[in-house]
């Protein structure tokens, strides 16, 4: 399985943008890039996913490098509620299959 590499931790200030990087140099042509986050004492929750083009939803934006070997999750205006562990995961496009979580990035938001 292709692996992802993320920084262990990041820190940002409330109401500022946050850019969370993920490296996936061994990504295959059909792997989707998924992001989940886990708030304290909760189960992980889906954030966003994409294949090649940049994606936006109400929670975040996903910027994917042209060679697809890296991606960045963008929180446009961080709030204290965005403090969580963020996981970048590669997933094949079809079929029920396991989602393998790495260690993720622990994001701290300062008031």
Partner 1 sequence: DAGVIQSPRHEVTEMGQEVTLRCKPISGHNSLFWYRQTMMRGLELLIYFNNNVPIDDSGMPEDRFSAKMPNASFSTLKIQPSEPRDSAVYFCASSGTTFEKLFFGSGTQLSVL
Beta bridge partners of 10: 107
Q: Taking CB under 8 A as the criterion, which residues in 4-63 touch partner 1?
A: 36, 42-46, 49
Strand order across the 45-50 sheet: 9-13, 105-110, 84-91, 32-38, 45-50
One residue of 8, 29, 96, 111 binding partner 1 per CB under 8 A: 96
Q: In whole angstroms, how close is the CB of 43 to partner 1 at the nearest point?
A: 3
One residue of 29, 40, 95, 111 binding partner 1 per CB under 8 A: 95
Question: Is residue 99 part of the contact set for partner 1 (CB under 8 A)?
Answer: yes
Nearer to partner 1, 27 or 89 (CB): 89
Number of residues this chain uses to bind partner 1 (CB under 8 A): 19
Nearer to partner 1, 17 or 46 (CB): 46
d(CA 61, CA 19): 10
Q: Which whole-number Å values give the CA distances from 33 to 62, 70, 97, 103, in the listed order? A: 9, 9, 14, 16
d(CA 34, CA 86): 10
For partner 1, the binding residues (CB under 8 A) are: 36, 42-46, 49, 87, 94-104
């Amino acid at each position: 399985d292709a692996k992802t590499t993320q920084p262990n931790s990041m820190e940002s200030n409330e109401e500022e943008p946050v850019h969370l990087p993920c490296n996936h140099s061994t990504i295959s042509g059909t792997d989707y890039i998924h992001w989940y986050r886990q708030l304290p004492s909760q189960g992980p929750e889906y954030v966003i996913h994409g294949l090649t083009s940049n994606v936006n939803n109400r929670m975040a934006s996903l910027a994917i490098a042209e060679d697809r070997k890296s991606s960045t999750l963008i929180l446009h205006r961080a709030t204290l509620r965005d403090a969580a562990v963020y996981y970048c995961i590669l997933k094949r496009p079809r079929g029920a299959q396991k989602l393998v979580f790495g260690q993720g990035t622990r994001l701290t938001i300062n008031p």
